[in-house]
Each structure stands twice: as structure tokens, then as C-alpha cells.
Structure 1
Amino acid sequence: MASKLFAPETRERAWLLYAWCRKCDDIADGQDHGGALSVVTDAQARLSDMRGLTDRALRGEPTGDPAFDGFGLVMRECAIPARYAHDLIDGFALDAADWRPRTEDDLLRYCYHVAGAVGCMMAVLMGVDPADEATLDRACDLGLAFQLANIARDIGEDAAAGRCYLPVAWLADLDLTPATLMTPAARPRLGILGRRLASMAAQYEESARHGTGALPARSAWAVLAAAGIYGDIAREVARRGEDAWDRRIVTPKRDKLGWVARAGWQVIGRGRRWPAGAARPAQLWVRPAA
């Protein structure tokens, strides 16, 4: 819904970039347009195919797959640094290696690879100079906020697929393991972890808003709407507590429309409310340098 707020050319470019992200995710997880996860027995082969098609697209060579060809087109048109595409694929490589985060820093590094890097690509797509590191930091923050909300919402689904993105250190602090995570006895402690993820997501969401001053008004409108819509997922996890995984959390359409309207007003005063020159909170994780 938020993408519809972009100017037409920006919207179509965003869709092309998203189509590649979605296709890579589907390849990695054996999904169909983000459907149910399936058991993947050839993860490394899938990863190799993904890298090969992506590199061909970046070179401007036809791949025979519209998602990759469209991706190559938008990367060239917008001069998006290829490092961010490679960083995203490195995130899929972590999953292919059955990687698990041990610390909070590990968790945030993973979030960078699978979402923060996309935020950086989107910022350049919207007209941000690739050398504007301060704005790219804020764009990365929004990706981190989105992924933290995803992880909080999907703890149950991930557990069913044999995955756990909660740091080992967090689990140990509450005497939990991936095997006991979804048991009835663990629910109160799981609620604590859900709120912890939601609190982190809120910090990164707020930081990201300071980058909207560098964007054209319509792009800022779309970004602020998306931040609110996705942020509501994390907020609902926190509100439900230990019941957050009884049914999948979604942001209802009426609430999405509410954020579209609210974001429209926020665009007008974004420079005063979220000044671009404000210092980024020192406690927030720092994305990898180029």
C-alpha cells in the first residue's frame, strides 16, 4: 500500500527491486511468492544460482528471468552500488549455512544483510546520493526495524521450520532453548523476548524517520506510511505479550489507511520533527563500512 504513494517512476522502480528480493527469498526458502516455507535440501546450489543470475543481471546480461532482468535495469538506471545486492545475498548464505545468532550484535548484523541493505538500495533508488552515509544509515535503520518486527511476529512459524533468530545469549538468560521456545510453559518468557524485539524495532523506526528530510515529498510520504504500518506489527507483538503467536499478526486495512493519512501530515513537518542533522542515537548498531 505504501508503495502506491510514490511518484509513478519511483513506484515502478521499487516494484522491480522488490521483485528481485522476493524472487531471491523464494529461491532460498523454496517458497512461491512468499508462501509457506518448504524443506530445502540443496541450499548451496540455490545460493549459487542466485549469485550467478544476480551477477549476470548486474553486468546487463539477459538472464531469462524477469525478476533478475528488471533488477539489473533498475540497478543501472539508479546507479545503486552492487555491494548492497551482494550483502543481501550474504544474508541468504547465512540461512543456507543453518546459521544462528549468538549475540544481539549477531542478530543485528543478520538484519542488516536481509533488510538493512535493501533499505540502502531503496534510498538510492529514491534519489539519495550513494555517498550520503548519514541518510543511508537512517535507511538501513528502517530495514532493521522491519526485520526485527518480522522476527518478532514469526517466532512460531520459524520454530516450526526449524529456525530461530533469537540470540542464544537471550535464550540462555531466560533458561530457554529453540526446542522449548514454543512450549506452553515458555510462553511468559517468550512474551518478554517479543517485547524486547518490539522495543528495539521502535528505536530503529524512530531513527529512520530522521532520514526522510533527504527524500522528495512523495517518497517521504511512502516511507513514513510504511514505517507506521510495519511498526504496528511490532507494537501488536508487544501488546499481545505471550499470546502474540496464537494467530498471525497483520496490520488491518483501516489502520493502513490511517497511517497513509497520518504520514501525509507528517511529511509537512518532517524537517522540524525529525531534523536531518540530528545525531543518531549512540546505542544503535552501526552498519558495515563500504
Structure 2
Amino acid sequence: MSQNRRLLSDLKVAPVAAGGGRNRDALVEKAHEAISEGSHSFAMASSLFDKTTRERVWLLYAWCRRCDDLADGQDMGGQLGDQAGIEDRVQAVRVLTRRALEGQPTADPAFDALGQVAAETGLSKDMTDDVIAGFAMDAGDFQPRTEKDVLRYCYHVAGAVGVMMARVMNAPDDSFVYDRACDLGIAFQLSNIARDIVEDAEAGRCYLPAEWLAEADLEPGRHAAPENRFALAAVSARLVGLMEIYEQAARCGAQRLRFRNRWAIYSAARIYGAIGRKVRRQGQLAWNNRVRVSRMAKIGHVIAGFGEAVVNRPVPPRDWPEYTRPDLQPIRGW
């Protein structure tokens, strides 16, 4: 019996309680450990929230990180593991998530963390379903054909998380704000895709639109070969340009948040944007080593984010995103 099936078979019906009955402080501590190890950039940005919001962000992050690791066979976002059995792992994510939202114990603190923060903020099953659909797309060997296809994927794996984060931050109940939170998640994922093109290719995945590859005369599956890196750099630069449109649109939503929340969002946008821009700047050399932003550079972005939050006059993008949340949600049939 697989590890996932053993985990599911051990679950029993128990009295309903937030966090599956676990101690909240213990869940927060485990969630803090997860974000500290899994994302140095987001961990730094999250420290800018007030205590309650910060803890809730950590709890939600713990669930996102655990789902991603389970689906991809990773450990804290490291190298992609064996993709055999991914369908079973995604199904395990669905079952554990449903139990967490119902207040049932899951035998996994990251899923119980979701149950805790959902009980506190009203996160819904539709929200989690949209995120899990992204893992299901990977399980179905998703390959984007068009720009809209890759943006739809970005919505499910990151934009939908942005929507959940907006709820966790108690953002104004305004569709504009939630659309812009989605835009920020999409921007983050576009940056990640640009950084990880070669790593993804080595695992048999490609998140670049087939139409873009054809225009660059790159063959899918061979697009990341060393001899193709010069042409690939132009494609990744196009991806980073798209990221910047979503990044700038997101700032217009963050403008309506409370000071500490918008400071955190402006800082995170700067840090993740810097990753994408560094990939573009390095060109064909961007994948020789994993692109990172140094701790000192991150501190600089946090300081700049503070000034941006004080002034709070973001410049709207010259061209707004062609596709946003209403165009991209939901796909639940994957």
C-alpha cells in the first residue's frame, strides 16, 4: 500500500474542531518552520504583517507548500521527484483538504493548518478546489498551447492562492481588490516559470506556450537544450514582460489594503519581480545556476516597499492584463 493510501486509511471520523483539534500555537510554529525553509523571500515579506495576519499567512502557506510537495514528489520545493503515481497523490490532497475544511483531523499538520485558518477567515472549498485543479493539470500532463493556457495554469497554482491570501488579510470585499490579488499570484508564478525553465524541462515539463516556441523555432522537449539557450532567453524575456504587466496591475489592488499589508505586498512584488528581471538580464546564462535574490537585496526591496507603501500612489500599467480572474477561473474537470 502506498504512503498516501496508508495515510488516508488511518483517518477516522472525529469530533469537528478547527485545525482538527490540534493546538493552534503548535500549528503556527510548524507553519513558521515550513515557510522559513520553503520560501526565504515570502518568509521575509510575511514578517511585515501584523501578528494575527502573519500567523494566518503562515498557516495557509503551510498547506500550499505541503500540497505542492505531495503532488510533485518534492521536499520543500526542491528538485522534482518521481512523477509516477501523481494522480493518487492529487487525490490524497483532495481528501485531506476536504477533511481539513470539515474540521476533521488529517494526521498532517499542514492540512490541519488549513482547517485552522479556514475556520478563522472563511476560506471556502471552491477556493481550495481552484488551487488543487492546478496540481491536477500537472497530473494530466498539461502543456500550454497559447498564452491564455499558461495564464490559466498560473491562475490555478498561484492566482487562486492570491485570492485566498486576500481573504486571510481581510482585504476589502471588492472584486477589483481580489482580481488584483489574483494578478499578483500570476506574476509570482510567471517569475518562477522563467527561473525554472530548464529544471522543469529535465522533469519532462514545459510551461511555455507552444505557439511562442514555434515562433522562436524551438522544438518542445528540446527547447531547453544548451544549444538553444540563446533563443530560449528571448522567450523567457517575453514571459518576464508579461509578469511585469501583472505585477504592476497587482499594485493597484494593494493600494487599498491597510498599511502593513500593502507594505508586505509591495515588498513581495519587488522581490519576486527582481527574480524575473534577473533571469531576463542574464539571458542565455540564466539557467547555469538557480537565480536567487541575495538577502541584502531583499532587505533593500523591503525598505523600498516601505516607501512605496507610505506614498501609496502606484502607477497603473500602460496595458492592463488581457486575461484576469473572470477569464481564467475555474477549471475543475482536470
TM-score, scaled to structure 1: 0.94
In the other structure, the counterpart of 2:268 is 226
How far, CA to CA, are the matches of 1:20 and 1:157 in structure 2? 24
Partner residue, 1:49 = 92
The equivalent of 1:61 in structure 2 is 104
CA distance in 1, matches of 2:322, 2:269: 17
Partner Cα separation in structure 2 for residue 210 and residue 284 of structure 1: 16
Runs (4+) of structure 1 moved beyond 6 Å? none
Is the CA contact (8 Å cut-off) linking 1:207 and 1:281 kept in structure 2? no
Matches of 2:238 and 2:124, distance apart in 1: 33
The structural deviation recorded for 1:34 is 1.4
1:132 matches 2:174: yes
Rounded to whole Å, the distance in 2 between the matches of 1:102 and 1:177 is 13
Give the TM-score, by structure 2 length: 0.82
Tell me the equivalent position of 2:13: none
Q: Counterpart of 2:244? A: 202
Q: Is the 8 A contact 1:88 1:118 kept in 2?
A: yes
User: Aligned runs of 1:70-109 on 2, under 5 Å?
Assistant: 70-109=113-152
1:255-287 C-alpha deviation (Å, 9 max, x unpaired) = 1000111111111111x335xxx6994443121
In 1: Cα distance, 2:321 partner to 2:51 partner? 37
2:153 corresponds to: 110
**Contact map agreement 1:14 1:125 (CA 8 A) in 2:** yes
Cα distance change on mapping 1:198 and 1:282 into 2, 3 Å:
closer
Cα separation, 1, equivalents of 2:317 and 2:78:
40
Match of 2:38 in 1: none
Q: Is the contact made by 1:13 and 1:74 (CA closer than 8 Å) also made in structure 2? A: yes
Is 2:219 the partner of 1:177? yes
Q: How many residues align?
A: 285
Contact 2:181 2:250 in 1 (8 A): yes
Residue equivalent to 1:286: 324
Judge conservation of contact 1:159–1:178 (CA < 8 Å) in 2: no
Deviation at 1:238, TM superposition (A): 1.0
Structure 2 CA distance, aligned partners of 1:266 and 1:135? 18
Q: Which residue of 2 aligns with 1:161?
A: 203
- Aligned residues of 2:251 and 2:314 also touching (Cα < 8 A): no
Give 3-state SS (helix, strand or coil) of 1:247's partner: coil
Query: 2: distance between equivalents of 1:283 and 1:235?
Result: 18
Query: 1:23 offset after TM fit, Å?
Result: 0.3
Match of 1:31 in 2: 74
Q: Which residue of 1 aligns with 2:27?
A: none
Who is 1:18 aligned against? 61
Which residue, out of 180, 188, 200, partners 2:230? 188
Distance of 1:106 and 1:196 partners within structure 2: 15
How far, CA to CA, are the matches of 2:175 and 2:146 in structure 1?
A: 26
Q: State the secondary structure of the residue aligned to 1:176.
A: coil
Q: Percent identity?
A: 50
CA 1:82–1:214 in structure 2 vs 1: closer, same or farther (change >3 Å)? farther
Please say if residues 123 and 139 of structure 1, whose CA atoms lie closer than 8 Å, have aligned partners that are also in contact.
Answer: yes
